[in-house]
Amino acid sequence: MEDKILKTIKKYKLIESGDKVLIAVSGGPDSMCLLDILNKLKEKLKIEIAVAHVNHGIRKEAGEETEYIKKYCEKYNIKIYIKYADVTQLAKQDKIGLEEEGRKVRYNFFDEVLEENRFNKIAIAHNMNDKVETVLMNIIRGSGSLGLKGIEPKRDNKYIRPLIETERKDIEEYCSLNKLDPKFDESNNDNTYTRNKIRNILIPFIKKEFNPNIIKGINNLSEIVTEEQNYLEKIVNNIYSQIKIEETKEKVILDLKEFNKQDTIIKKRILLLSISKIFGTSKNIEKIHIEDIIKLCERNIGNKYLTPNKNVKVFVNKGKIIISHTY
């Protein structure tokens, strides 16, 4: 198993000698497998490791999980950073779901620990099954070809996923063989959540009725699409640099005439890229939003603007496309 993870690390250049790696650990099979393997490989990789754990305060088992992780870290003299949060209350305050609030709390905490303690990588325990579940969720939502990439091995050269080429069954077998005794989150059996429905109902049905190797099959599809999308991104970035007039944290200004010369697929990608430059993501921008912006640019009559959502403003004026915050 260590060799398999090491191969993934080298393939995607996830870790380099001298890295300080913060490992996100929940106490479940995935994160405990990741922690145990990186602990075994740390001398070979010449890295420093530490653990970050968030107690969400939702389930009664949360305290046991925290103590379990603390004992493991004490056994191997691993530094651990713990955050206790009332995610239920925070979700009410922010008016968002528990799952979204939990993710927000975790990643804010990881980033905080990373910056304050000079770590340069955050290792997340997403595995191949998680990636396939994400691809299926994106297909169901109609998110387009970008959604087929699923979860990538590395993001922003900071978040790394060494288990992304490893199936869940192999992770659970590793935990059993190494007597890790991880804690299982019973909420993963709650099919109220879309991801759990896909994991517990849809994938087993496909395995039984269509393809027993569906996990590897969809992962293979994802890898092919990722390779093609990465090539397209290079082309889009090159064209973006040619038609960009100005780029700041608050706005992006594009040459309208040059923008309108591009094929529709390139226009769409340039708009998504421009929005990402300002907001860090284009996650909440839908197909209809992009199409409306393209129509606005093609009309090119006088001063026109639209707000595809509550955050983004697009203004066409004097041969320029100005994309900015609404404020």
Model confidence pLDDT, tens digit, residues 233-271: 999 999 999 999 999 999 999 999 999 999 999 999 999
Q: Note whether 171 and 29 are within 8 A (CB).
A: yes
Q: pLDDT tens, 283-312?
A: 778 888 899 899 989 987 655 666 666 678
Relative orientation angle of helices 214-243 and 128-141, to the nearest 10 degrees: 70
Kindly list the structural domains of the chain, giving each domain's residue range(s) and its CATH number in brackets, ordered by start: 2-209 (3.40.50.620), 248-325 (3.30.465.60)
This prediction has a pTM of 0.88
Task: Report the pLDDT value the prediction gives residue 202, as an integer from 0 to 100.
Answer: 97
**Does the pLDDT at position 206 exceed 90?**
yes
Q: pLDDT tens, 6-50?
A: 999 999 999 999 999 999 999 999 999 999 999 999 999 999 999
Return the higher-pLDDT residue of 119 and 189.
Answer: 119
Q: Note whether 135 and 148 are within 8 A (CB).
A: yes
Task: Report the pLDDT value the prediction gives residue 301, as an integer from 0 to 100.
Answer: 62
Backbone phi and psi for residue 225, each to the nearest 5 degrees, phi listed first: -60, -40
